[in-house]
Amino acid sequence: MDLPKRILLCNDDGFDATGILSLERALSSLGELWVIAPEQERSGCSHAMNFRDTLGLIKVRERAYKVRDGYPADCVNLGFCYQAFPDFNLVVSGINHGPNLGDDVHYSGTVAVARQAAIHNIRNIAISAVDLLISAKKMERIAEWLKSWIIENYKRLDSRIVYNINYPEEIPESSYKSEEKLLESSSAYPPVIFSHQGHRKYKDSYSEVSQDNKQAGLELLRLDNTILGHIEEEQSDFEAVHNHNISITPLSTSSTAKNELAKWQKL
């Protein structure tokens, strides 16, 4: 069996998040497991990195570190570039609390971890739980599914591709009659669908926090709410999870619009 010798775990929900703890328990039997994750939640930070200020590397236990004042991409980059850490064969990011579908991938710290790994030519997976109210037991179930998927597919992974996985909300089949029975059955995992990245519709609203400095030309505003929609497309990641399938979308690190480039080159 060909498995990764060393695995690095990271996330954007923070070192103590349920998702990464579930992965740590499930994947520890696959290879030597390391954790480098932000000290606090960094959701929605995209591929931000701390280029100017210091990073605090805090050892919590053997092969497990939290990073103070660092973003998810900083954490994984430390794993690749700081001499205290060994070489890694696989990076797993997540399990994110909430979906990373369609254009979410541009804002996601979870996906940024995997993208940073792909930039460094290291196999990688970003995994998210679509269910925002997911229980710890269901997180463990997703982690166990991912373990089995890695065992089956590790050698197929292309180190320059980001594998963005979204695990759907599950509806217990009538034969299981309860969530507990569903969680006990490994045979009940949803089907896997390879899908393309869909397109989000975002509707954001801002509110004024204070008018104290308004006369000085300063307005303090806060993003209050984002209404999430999407464009209906066949074989998209949205369609896959809507139909209660596990969505896997291979993402490229190249942002070149090749068809558009070819159009202009022909002029």
Average pLDDT over the chain reads 91
Interval 132-174: pLDDT, tens: 889 999 999 999 999 999 999 999 999 999 999 999 998 755 4
Interval 60-114: pLDDT, tens: 999 999 999 999 999 999 999 999 999 999 999 999 999 999 999 999 999 999 9
User: Which tokens is 195 given?
Assistant: 């899908």
Q: What percent of the chain has pLDDT over 70?
A: 92
Rounded Cα distance between 148 and 141, Å, is 11
For position 187, what pLDDT does the model report? 58
User: Could you tell me the pTM of the whole model?
Assistant: 0.91
- For residue 227, pLDDT over 90 is answered with no
- For residue 130, pLDDT over 80 is answered with yes
Rounded Cα distance between 124 and 76, Å, is 11
CB-CB neighbours of 204 under 10 Å: 9
Half-sphere exposure of 159 (CA within 13 A, CB side): 11
For position 201, what pLDDT does the model report? 85
Lowest mean pLDDT among 9-23, 32-46, 78-92, 178-192: 178-192
User: Which tokens is 226 given?
Assistant: 């984002």
CATH of domain 6-198+233-265: 3.40.1210.10
For position 175, what pLDDT does the model report? 45
Return the higher-pLDDT residue of 63 and 43. 63
For position 172, what pLDDT does the model report? 59
For position 178, what pLDDT does the model report? 57
Print the SS3 string covering the chain: CCCCCEEEEECCCCCCCHHHHHHHHHHCCCCEEEEEEECCCCCCCCCCCCCCCCCEEEEEECCEEEEECCCHHHHHHHHHHCCCCCCCCEEEEEEEECCCCHHHHHCCHHHHHHHHHHHCCCEEEEEEECCCCCCHHHHHHHHHHHHHHHHHHHHHCCCCEEEEEEECCCCCCCCCCCHHHHHHCHHHCCCEEECECCCEEEEEEEEEEECCCHHHCCCEEEEEEEEEEECCCCCEHHHHHHCCCEEEEEEECCCCCHHHHHHHHCC
CB-CB neighbours of 222 under 10 Å: 10
CB-CB neighbours of 158 under 10 Å: 13
Phi/psi at 109 (5° precision): -70, -30
Calculate mean pLDDT across residues 191-209: 90
For position 179, what pLDDT does the model report? 59
Most confident of 13-22, 132-141, 185-194: 13-22
> Considering only CA atoms, which of 27, 31, 35, 43 is closest in space to residue 9?
35
- Name the residue ranges covered by the structural domains of the chain: 6-198+233-265, 200-231
For position 203, what pLDDT does the model report? 84
Rounded Cα distance between 124 and 154, Å, is 10
Q: Which residue has the tokens 């519709």?
A: 201
